[in-house]
Structure 1
Amino acid sequence: MKVSLRSLSQAIVILALLIAVGAVPLPQEPLQAGIIPVLQRTEVRDEAGQFSLSYLSGDGTTLNEQGALKPTADGTDNVLVKQGSFSYTSPEGIPISLTYVADELGFRPEGAHLPVAPVVPPINF
């Protein structure tokens, strides 16, 4: 059997390409933590933008939030104010629960895990 130099060089090039392709590492699937399912979810919205949202996930995380329109102080417009709560378990196993209001006075969270500012005694002049 006679092999031409051209077919031999083509075979070598093809073999080299196959070796090169085989040496390239294949992308690995990213490592993913377990997927946490959403067990319950409700969401209601109206045309004005007011809403109610809640969910419960498989790891016990909960969220409840409501948004309602409130007239501005001068009565010429409305703003969306929110109130809600969420709870979850921290990586250290500590239950975390937070409630909040967000309105014209700002964002006001409350929760046992939040730091509390020290009480400043009144200054008497």
Structure 2
Amino acid sequence: MKFAIVFVALFAFALAAPLGEEAQIVRYDSDNDGLGGYSFNFETSDGVARQEQGHVENAGTDYETLKVSGSFQYYGDDGQLYQVQYIADENGFQPQGAHLPVA
């Protein structure tokens, strides 16, 4: 459930674009192995890009976990390119980026 919420929020954030010219998808690839493993990546004409891969560990046990890693980038209103790498696993969503605060 947590993964779905994070995924939807990140996807909506990555696709959000200022009003005006509509971005076009210039690349899109996806794969699903049917066993819980997947990967995808896309890039749009306005510089938004995202790639992600995930797989299930300990399938069918009480310790079943979806492990996800990926990255996304976008241009902010200030014209800067922002890039974020992340993992999401039993320890939650863990983003890293030069513009993000570090605990």
TM-score bucket (shorter structure): 0.7 to 0.9
Instruction: Specify the structure having the higher radius of gyration (Cα).
Output: 1
Equivalent runs, 1:94-105 vs 2, <5 Å? 94-105=80-91
Instruction: Please give the root-mean-square deviation of Cα atoms over the aligned residues, in Å.
Output: 1.7
Equivalent residue number for residue 70 of structure 2: 84
Return the offset for 1:33. Answer: 1.9
Equivalent residue number for residue 26 of structure 1: none
Deviations along 1:20-58, one digit per CA (max 9) or x if unpaired, are xxxxxxxxxxxx521100000001012122110100100
The count of aligned residue pairs is 84
Q: CA–CA distance in 2 between the matches of 1:39 and 1:106?
A: 31
Return the offset for 1:116. Answer: 2.2
Return the offset for 1:70. Answer: 1.0
| Structure 1: gaps spanning 5 or more residues | 1-31, 118-125
Normalising to structure 2: TM-score of the pair?
Answer: 0.74
**Which gives a bigger RCO, structure 1 or 2 (Cα 8 Å, sep 6+)?**
2
Equivalent residue number for residue 49 of structure 1: 36
Secondary structure class of the residue paired with 1:91: coil
Q: Which amino acid aligns with 2:92?
A: G
Q: Answer 1 or 2: which has greater strand percent.
A: 2
